[in-house]
Structure 1
Amino acid sequence: MRRVLRILLRILFGLLVLGLVLVGGVLVALRIPSVQTRLAQKAAAVLTQKLGQVVEIGGVDVRPFSHVLLDGVRVRDRRGGELFSVGRADADIQLFSVFDPRHLHVGTLTLTEPRFALRDVAGQPDSTT
């Protein structure tokens, strides 16, 4: 009986250590510039799909469980002109959103150097067409 309990405890301890190593590996990987560049490309693709406009992101800095910083964010209109741009977007991520990866819950969003270009085009209902 003691032997079985000992084996079970070792298995549980091994699983716990493995889980901690995996979480630590993900956290370290999020600090690597090439991984962050890939995240920026993925975020731009998702935003482009959701907004229906071309979104470009110059860089991203992920601070696990707390902040996401996006540098050089640009949204282009359908003609290719700049519709909206932000020098830096700093999003304060709420902790519980980590457990709901399909939805991002932002506590505070700070935009640095935001610019919006609104143009009237004759014969067009809005500037995004």
Structure 2
Amino acid sequence: MGVLLLAVLGIVLLRTSPVQTKLAQYFAPIISEKLGYPIRIGKVHLKFFDEVTLESVRVDDPAGFKMINIEKLDVNFKLKNLTDSVNLNLDYARLYHPKIVLVIDKKTGLLNIDEFIRRINVLTAPEIPKKHPKNYRGQLFTIDEAEIVDGIFSFNDQQIEPMNDKKSFDHNHFTFHELNTNIKNFLLIKDTVSLQTVNFRGYDKISDTRIRKLNTRFDF
């Protein structure tokens, strides 16, 4: 009876946001050390074991840039899909006020997020399953649908000098504000990213460039 009560108490405690937050904050430095990218999570709330909300999520790159900063992240998933050795899948994700800062390093010419993705792949790579498709290239990470709400996206190529004409759009140095879009069929495998954007909107203040509506397929 005592063991049962302890088990019930443990489950109840794990359902509380303060305990979930403490666990996340305990493991974040461990993961940060393995990846070489500082990771911080302000608050965690797990709902019904298939929905989780993360607040104040931040990832810095080795140069000190705040590469990823998300005010609030809602994720919906099926537990069985998180243990799939072929396709790690999320049903839905919503990012509130995310800020993504991508930088090409002046000395190395490397994009900061590329190395981050590579290290995640190395850290999470499972053993090749015995039963896998003939064209198996590694574990997939997919999101069926996602939404970005009022985000910011910044890109800076340190190897190229900014344009003198501030009224022209500089595709090597820009920051889009007011980013809003729906995303479908997000796929990440090794160093390949693929997604479809629906009603993509954003505004670059410096060049006064506004994207009013963009539906496209993105492969990188």
TM-score normalised per structure 2: 0.41
Choose 85-94 or 70-79, whichever is displaced more: 85-94
Mapped pair 1:44 → 2:39: no
Residue number in structure 2 paired with 1:117: 101
Write the distance in 2 (CA, Å) between the matches of 1:83 and 1:110. 18
| 1:66 to 1:37, Cα distance in 2 relative to 1, 3 A | same
Q: Secondary structure at the match of 2:24?
A: helix
Residue number in structure 2 paired with 1:84: 68
Q: CA deviation at 1:97?
A: 5.6
- 5+ long unaligned stretches in structure 1: 1-13
Select which of 55, 61, 78 maps to 2:45: 61
Q: CA deviation at 1:52?
A: 3.4
Q: CA deviation at 1:75?
A: 0.6
- 5+ long unaligned stretches in structure 2: 116-220
Write the distance in 2 (CA, Å) between the matches of 1:64 and 1:85. 26
Choose 43-52 or 31-40, whichever is displaced more: 43-52
| 1:22 to 1:92, Cα distance in 2 relative to 1, 3 A | farther
Q: Which has the larger radius of gyration?
A: 1
Aligned-residue sequence identity (percent) comes to 28
Select which of 19, 44, 48 maps to 1:35: 19
Bigger relative contact order (CA 8 A; separation at least 6): 1
Work out the number of aligned pairs and report it. 111
Q: CA deviation at 1:76?
A: 0.0
Q: CA deviation at 1:113?
A: 1.1
Choose 24-33 or 44-53, whichever is displaced more: 44-53
Residue number in structure 2 paired with 1:25: 9
| 1:26 to 1:96, Cα distance in 2 relative to 1, 3 A | farther
Write the distance in 2 (CA, Å) between the matches of 1:95 and 1:122. 42
Question: Between Structure 1 and Structure 2, which shows a larger proportion of strand residues?
Answer: 2
Two-structure CA RMSD over aligned residues (Å): 3.3
Write the distance in 1 (CA, Å) between the matches of 2:10 and 2:72. 25
TM-score normalised per structure 1: 0.65
CA contact (8 A) 1:27 1:64 kept: no
